[in-house]
Structure 1
């Protein structure tokens, strides 16, 4: 499902227009992005949690030449699925 399909699904489920549903989804994504960038954790009970993680600096290899390269430390985004979400995914097997 891409963003357009998600907007259509939300519009159908809620009875909102596609424009309003699109603005709501954009607002949700923006709010989550800003909160996680500040270092906050966003918890959506039943769905999951978005938070920051850390990846330390390390040495890697260029696959073409085999040369060692230094990879800088970075902040990452972590998503942990909630119980209700996990149960829904596992029920559809």
Structure 2
């Protein structure tokens, strides 16, 4: 019987690695501008990660009412594992 799981897309992995490198919430716009990815690709990936409980979304109450995203506890664990994979790929472990 086939296991039911999903592989993170490259964009999703980039987002998780970016968020673990910053210590606070990040505006979705800042993610795609900083990472030079398409706004649509980032928005779709962020929405999927929020729906899976990997990211947490908070909207600011004051203008400009940015949409901020944070790693959930689950997201932090996944991002840490991605960092470990990166280190192994570099040959540092």
Instruction: Tell me whether the two structures share a fold, i.e. TM-score over 0.5.
Output: no
- Ranked by relative contact order (alpha carbons within 8 Å, sequence separation 6 or more), the top structure is 2
Q: Which has the higher strand share?
A: 1
Larger Rg: 1
The TM-score, its normalising length taken from structure 1, stands at 0.32
More helix by share: 2
